[in-house]
């Protein structure tokens, strides 16, 4: 049984109870308390909470976060002829995320491809890792329980569990192995290569079609990301960590733009503005 804080940006919450007990695998109970009042919210869910229900495949990537250890809204902080400016201290964070391919091994969703996101245990990542994992799980569970239905432009959480070493594993339905950052990098490299070799084999028609495909792809990417963000805002949730790497793509081939479905991920820093 895991007892962790649901929001890494608030001390007014008490805790979130995430149970691995098979008897409780049909739902998650979140206890949300404020200083004046408290209320209990039990979210009916089909989230899978047993580690035996997943098969883990190869490592597909890892990434970390930057830490702002001090912050001043005044700007920069150093001496100059006109006075003093203020700065921020930015460093590498202690939380390192790993991503694995996998699939669901049991139950009605058996065989469903998933991406497993691993937060390090407290020994490696400190209490911040547990808070981030809990906040991300909480955000997805609440958004997926909406009476408006699920949003196709958000990654779908299918389960989560804690290992004996304290690592927090979150399982998401596989929405693609690429991100908007990958698309930008590949497209930029392709353009640079064409310029470098002074490629002039295109005829006018081919060039126009390439530009049209790219425009359509980019517009659809932005529309999907904004739709996911609008859904979060409609449910009083702010992402707070949105960037190209936070937009998952099921394809980066511009010819496959009609089948493109952008999905937002990385909700570990999101906040519920109803409690601010």
49-173: CATH topology = Phosphorylase Kinase; domain 1 (3.30.200)
The predicted-structure confidence for 130-157, as pLDDT tens digits, reads as follows: 999 999 999 999 999 888 888 999 999 9
Range(s) for CATH 3.30.200.20 in the chain? 49-173
Q: What is the dihedral of CA 206, 208, 214, 220, to 10 degrees?
A: -120
Q: How far apart are CA 59 and CA 116, in angstroms?
A: 9
Can you tell me which residue has the tokens 């991406």? Answer: 115
Calpha distance 28→18 (Å, rounded): 6
Q: Is the pLDDT of residue 233 over 50?
A: yes
Summarised one tens digit per residue, pLDDT across range 160-200 is 999 988 899 999 999 999 999 999 999 999 888 877 776 55
Query: What pLDDT was estimated at residue 167?
Result: 92
Per-position b or e across 7-25, b if 16+ CB within 10 A of its CB: bbebeebeebebeeeeeeb
Q: pLDDT tens digits for 64-113? A: 776 666 655 555 555 555 555 556 666 666 788 999 999 999 989 999 99
CA 163/CA 167 separation, integer angstroms: 5
pTM of the model: 0.74
């Amino acid at each position: 049984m895991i007892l962790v804080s649901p929001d890494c940006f608030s001390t007014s919450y008490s805790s979130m109870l995430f149970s691995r007990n098979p008897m409780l695998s049909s739902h998650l109970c979140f206890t949300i308390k404020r200083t004046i009042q408290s209320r209990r919210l039990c979210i009916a869910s089909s989230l899978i909470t047993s580690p035996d229900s997943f098969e883990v495949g190869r490592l597909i990537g890892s990434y970390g976060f930057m830490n702002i250890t001090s912050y001043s809204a005044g700007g920069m902080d150093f001496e100059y002829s006109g006075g003093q400016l203020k700065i921020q201290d930015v460093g590498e964070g202690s939380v390192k995320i790993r991503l694995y391919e996998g699939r669901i091994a049991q139950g009605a969703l058996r065989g469903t491809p998933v991406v497993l996101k691993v937060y390090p245990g407290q020994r490696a990542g400190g209490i911040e890792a547990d808070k981030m994992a809990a906040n991300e799980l909480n955000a997805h569970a609440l958004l997926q329980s909406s009476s408006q239905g699920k949003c196709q432009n958000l990654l779908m959480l299918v389960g989560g569990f804690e290992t004996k070493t304290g690592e927090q594993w979150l399982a998401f339905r596989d929405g693609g192995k690429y991100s908007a950052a990958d698309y930008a990098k590949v497209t930029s490299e392709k353009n640079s290569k064409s310029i470098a070799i002074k490629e002039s084999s295109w005829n006018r028609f081919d060039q126009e079609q390439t530009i049209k495909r790219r425009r359509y792809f980019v517009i659809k990417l932005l529309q999907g990301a904004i739709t996911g963000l609008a859904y979060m805002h409609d449910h009083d949730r702010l992402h707070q960590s949105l960037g190209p790497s936070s937009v998952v793509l099921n394809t980066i081939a511009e010819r496959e733009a009609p089948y493109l479905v952008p999905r937002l991920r990385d909700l570990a820093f999101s906040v519920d503005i109803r409690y601010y």
